[in-house]
């Protein structure tokens, strides 16, 4: 969209540039997404698989906007990260936490069933995208693991040897989304209860330090995702451990 | 209209102040910045206006506070679809700064930039006439760093990504140049009443 326009570079420290250009057409267009499958991930989270035949494709880390419409025309729209890897042609998967009293996540968790139709527009934001081109250090908590999982899945599907690590925080093993899919690249941190022999506690400098100690060539691009409180905490840990601020990308869920 | 089976949604609020597709976030004030929150003290904060102006100028914290104070009381609207009603920001009207630097006749647009390097573009007309502020107080208290403190741009009649946090300066131009989110598919102007969320809306 910007090829004909120069862009101003501020005299301040340069902000993290976007990773890809975003298609205006895809971002502008509402498309029907048909729910084809629901998979429970944890007691509070489930994955929703949709058929979106004309989906333009996405990069791991991108999100979309989803809207539900009531009989009287009232709409509710929210952003959701895309959980699936890009190669799942014509299909996308989202993983939603059931937010207490939540208008949109509540509908998904209590009403939705295969065959239902919702609308989506996207993919959006090239900033949090990871094209798979450089070493990635992924840090998430709760449903913040969703866009990071798309990266992990992409990495696996490509059999990529680009270094990739995932540090993920969950309340307990039962609350760890995608637990059965996580592998050697992942270090889980449990904040309320853990399997025997695994310490319980908040993500700390001691979790981040070993990852930054093994600097890959060119350094890590860090991707942090979760609630604002978690994003603040994790990004401070990264900065304190020496990760440059202009190589930290943050996706806050609000 | 594509009705979603079984979706009723929340009780309808008939609030004339709520732009289309927005909901009232109540006491919540979500934070959505994409970069690390900077540790910027008032002593390190500066605000510069340059580009197509008669007299480019930089203000430090003290100098900016010497300008006549001004308050915004009203609503703010985020593109992620929450709105927040009855907020109160304190600072200085942007007109006070622009009166000093005097934009040239050719000036049409502005890139606002932050101490982090975040950028956002705006038509100059959206920043004049008492509709934009440099704000350093929220509800009578210093603006917290998560919300853009020590000082942020405040342009409440546009979606809130235009209200650059940790504001460092304005570059006045004779053409439009997309900023950070605008290069990432967001609308060039971002008027919530016309639902200008993404480019093409
Ligand atoms: C870029 C991005 C990506 C995201 N990705 C994901 C993801 O992958 N997975 C995921 O689960 N979430 C994700 N989120 C969060 C998601 O967008 C929603 O915020 C979340 O699902 C809650 O929406 P909801 O409609 O269920 O809840 P809401 O109805 O918005 O409610 C949220 C909370 O506010 C309270 N509340 C809000 N309005 C009112 C009101 N008027 N009256 C009373 N209470 C109110 C509710 O009780 C609840 O506690 C993402 C957010 C962003 C910004």
Domains recognised in chain B with CATH numbers: 46-194 (3.90.420.10)
**Over residues B116-120, mean pLDDT:** 94
Query: Please, which pLDDT band fits residue A134 given cuts at 50, 70 and 90?
Result: very high
Percent of the residues in chain A that have a pLDDT greater than 90, as a whole number: 83
What are B155's two structure tokens?
């342009």
A97 C-beta closer than 6 A to ligand 1: yes
Residue A5, pLDDT > 70, answer no
Cα separation, A18 vs A21, in Å, equals 7
Give the pLDDT score at A14.
Answer: 47
Cα separation, B164 vs B116, in Å, equals 10
Contacts of A252 in chain B (CB under 8 A): 30-34
Mutate to test the pocket of ligand 1, among A62, A82, A101 (most ligand atoms within 8 A of CB): A101
Q: What is the mean pLDDT of chain B?
A: 95
Query: Please, which pLDDT band fits residue A48 given cuts at 50, 70 and 90?
Result: very high
What are A82's two structure tokens?
């895309």
Give the pLDDT score at B13.
Answer: 78
Residue B64 has phi, psi (to 5 degrees) of: -65, -35
Identify the three-state secondary structure at position A215.
coil
Cα separation, A155 vs A49, in Å, equals 20
Query: Nearest-CA distance from A235 to chain B in Å?
Result: 6
Tell me if B125 sits within 8 A of A22, measured CB to CB: no
Query: Please, which pLDDT band fits residue B12 given cuts at 50, 70 and 90?
Result: confident
Give the pLDDT score at A152.
Answer: 98
ipTM of the modeled complex: 0.89
**Over residues A33-40, mean pLDDT:** 98
Contacts of A13 in chain B (CB under 8 A): 115-117
Percent of the residues in chain B that have a pLDDT greater than 70, as a whole number: 100
Residue A38, pLDDT > 70, answer yes
Tell me if B53 sits within 8 A of B104, measured CB to CB: yes
| Dihedral, CA of residue B141, residue B142, residue B144 and residue B148, to nearest 10 | 120
The dihedral through the CA atoms of B193, B194, B195, B197 has a sign that is: negative
Alpha helices in chain A, H assignment, sequence order:
24-28, 103-110, 145-157, 205-213, 228-240
Domains of chain A: 24-124 (2.40.30.10), 136-252 (3.40.50.80)
Give the pLDDT score at A16.
Answer: 59
Query: Nearest-CA distance from B80 to chain A in Å?
Result: 7
Which residues is A140 bridged to in the sheet?
A168, A225
Give per-residue pLDDT as tens, B64-114. 999 999 999 999 999 999 999 999 999 999 999 999 999 999 999 999 999
Q: Does residue B184 belong to the interface with chain A, where contact is any CB pair within 8 Å? A: yes
Residue length of chain A = 254
Give the pLDDT score at A25.
Answer: 67
More confident residue, A15 or A6: A6
Place of tokens 């936490």: A97
CB hemisphere CA count around A112 (13 angstroms) = 26
Q: Among the atoms of ligand 1, which is closest to the Cα of residue A80?
A: 5
Cα separation, A81 vs A96, in Å, equals 9
């Amino acid at each position: 969209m910007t090829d004909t326009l120069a862009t101003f570079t501020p005299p301040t420290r340069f902000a993290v540039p976007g990773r890809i250009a975003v298609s205006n057409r895809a971002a502008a267009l509402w498309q029907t997404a048909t729910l084809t499958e629901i998979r429970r991930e944890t007691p509070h989270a489930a994955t929703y698989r949709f058929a979106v035949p004309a989906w333009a494709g996405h990069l791991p880390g991108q999100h979309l906007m989803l809207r539900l419409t009531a009989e009287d025309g009232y709409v509710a729209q929210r952003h959701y990260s895309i959980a699936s890897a890009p190669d799942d042609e014509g299909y996308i998967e989202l993983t939603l936490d059931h937010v207490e009293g939540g208008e949109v996540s509540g509908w998904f968790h209590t009403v939705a069933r295969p065959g239902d139709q919702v609308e989506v527009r996207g993919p959006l934001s090239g900033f949090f995208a990871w094209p798979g081109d450089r070493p990635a250090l992924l840090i998430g908590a709760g449903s913040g693991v969703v866009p990071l999982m798309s990266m992990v899945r992409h990495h696996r599907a490509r059999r990529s040897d680009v270094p990739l690590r995932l540090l993920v925080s969950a309340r307990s093993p039962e609350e760890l989304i995608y637990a059965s899919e996580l592998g050697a690249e992942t270090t889980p941190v449990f904040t309320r209860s853990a399997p025997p022999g695994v310490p319980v506690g908040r993500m700390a400098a001691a979790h981040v330090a070993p990852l930054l100690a093994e600097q890959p060539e060119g350094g890590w691009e860090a991707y942090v995702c979760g609630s604002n409180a978690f994003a603040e905490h994790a990004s401070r840990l990264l900065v304190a451990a020496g990760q440059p601020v202009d190589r930290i990308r943050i996706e806050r869920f609000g | 209209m594509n009705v979603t089976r079984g979706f009723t949604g929340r009780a309808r609020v008939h609030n004339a102040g709520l732009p289309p597709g927005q909901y009232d976030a109540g006491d919540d004030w979500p934070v959505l910045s994409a970069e690390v929150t900077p540790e910027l003290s008032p002593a390190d904060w500066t605000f510069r206006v340059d580009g197509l102006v008669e007299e480019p100028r930089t203000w430090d914290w003290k100098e900016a506070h010497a300008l006549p104070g001004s308050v915004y009381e009203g609503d703010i609207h985020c593109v992620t679809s929450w709105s927040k009603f009855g907020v109160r920001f304190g600072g200085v009207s942007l007109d006070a700064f622009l009166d000093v630097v005097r934009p040239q006749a050719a000036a049409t647009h502005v890139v606002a930039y932050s101490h982090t390097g975040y950028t956002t573009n705006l038509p100059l007309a959206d920043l004049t006439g008492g509709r934009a502020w440099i704000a350093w107080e929220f509800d009578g208290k210093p603006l917290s760093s998560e919300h853009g403190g020590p000082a942020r741009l405040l342009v409440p009649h546009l979606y809130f990504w235009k209200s650059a946090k940790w504001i460092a300066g304005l570059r006045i131009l004779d053409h439009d140049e997309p900023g950070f989110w605008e290069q990432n598919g967001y609308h060039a102007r971002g008027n919530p009443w016309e639902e200008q969320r993404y480019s093409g809306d």
